[in-house]
């Protein structure tokens, strides 16, 4: 007779491996961001540091500078959003093991699809940063120097927190099991497509919040960490609707204050 404890060992091993992989990816991303932050503070180094400085000053920037900005955004999004995908990845492992299917390499393909969406967002963010640079609206901290732009970003982010679309996307992110039951697809391609769909819902939750980085400073690690914590809180807290509504009201009030003072 098979031992039930032994039957859970593969799933436990898979869950542990997934968590370790997430920790490694997030750790490497934050280590890079910390290194870049130190370089920007001390103006030591070239590569991404000098590119970032050119993208935040009046000096002309090149296509290579935009590419470096894109890389910076991509690493930042990986560091911020990979950990928030842990619940759905672990549920995906359990669902596959429950069907008697192996977790690898299918689960990493799901994660790859998820991160592909955020890499795409990083390209858009880098272009937005380039646009602000060309308009001479960026400070050395890579925050907008225009009170009008800052106020508009705050108002948009706050208003979006109160919309039904935000609520619908957040519901998908908060219910990994419901998402998998609704969007399940078999095979490697199916796993990647499921990952992109979940990433799209996650993007629908968070895109406006990410825009706040242009208000507080793109490379302000304190604010990057705060936004990461808030995104995670929205996904796992019991009273998530109230949290989003409160955040929306606060952001709208902040936006109005910036516009009036500006």
Domain extent, residue 96, equals 4-136+145-261
Eight-state DSSP code of residue 58: S
pLDDT band of residue 220 (cuts 50, 70, 90) is confident
Kindly tell me the number of DSSP H helices and DSSP E strands found in the chain. Answer: 13, 0
User: How far is residue 211's CA from residue 63's CA, in Å, rounded to a whole number?
Assistant: 22
pLDDT band of residue 3 (cuts 50, 70, 90) is very low
Give the tens place of pLDDT for each residue, 149-164: 999 999 999 999 999 9
What's the CA angle centered on 179, arms 175 and 6, to 5 degrees? 80
User: How far is residue 23's CA from residue 28's CA, in Å, rounded to a whole number?
Assistant: 8
Q: Residue 79: pLDDT above 80?
A: yes
What total of structural domains would you count in the chain?
Answer: 1
User: How far is residue 70's CA from residue 64's CA, in Å, rounded to a whole number?
Assistant: 10
Q: Give residue 48's pLDDT.
A: 47
């Amino acid at each position: 007779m098979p031992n039930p404890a032994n039957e859970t060992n593969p799933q436990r091993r898979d869950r542990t491996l997934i968590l370790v992989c997430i920790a490694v990816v997030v750790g490497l991303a934050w280590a890079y961001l910390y290194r870049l932050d130190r370089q920007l503070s001390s103006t030591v180094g070239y590569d991404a540091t000098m590119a970032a400085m050119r993208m935040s000053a009046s000096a002309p920037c090149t296509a290579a500078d935009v590419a470096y900005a894109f890389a910076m955004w991509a690493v930042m999004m990986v560091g911020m959003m990979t950990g928030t995908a842990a619940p759905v990845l672990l549920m995906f492992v359990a669902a596959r093991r429950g069907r008697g299917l192996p977790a690898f390499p299918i689960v990493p393909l799901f994660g790859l699809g998820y991160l592909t969406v955020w890499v795409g967002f990083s390209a858009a963010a880098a272009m937005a940063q380039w646009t602000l640079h060309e308009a001479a609206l960026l400070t050395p901290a890579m925050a907008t120097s225009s009170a009008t732009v800052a106020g508009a970003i705050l108002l948009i982010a706050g208003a979006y927190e109160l919309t039904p679309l935000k609520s619908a996307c957040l519901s998908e992110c908060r219910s990994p099991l419901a998402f998998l039951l609704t969007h399940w697809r078999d095979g490697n391609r199916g796993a990647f497509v499921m990952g992109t769909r979940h990433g799209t819902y996650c993007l629908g939750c968070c895109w406006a919040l990410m825009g706040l980085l242009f208000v507080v400073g793109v490379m302000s690690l304190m604010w990057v960490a705060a936004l990461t914590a808030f995104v995670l809180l929205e996904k796992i807290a019991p009273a998530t609707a109230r949290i989003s509504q409160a955040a929306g009201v606060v952001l709208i009030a902040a936006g109005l204050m910036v516009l009036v003072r500006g």
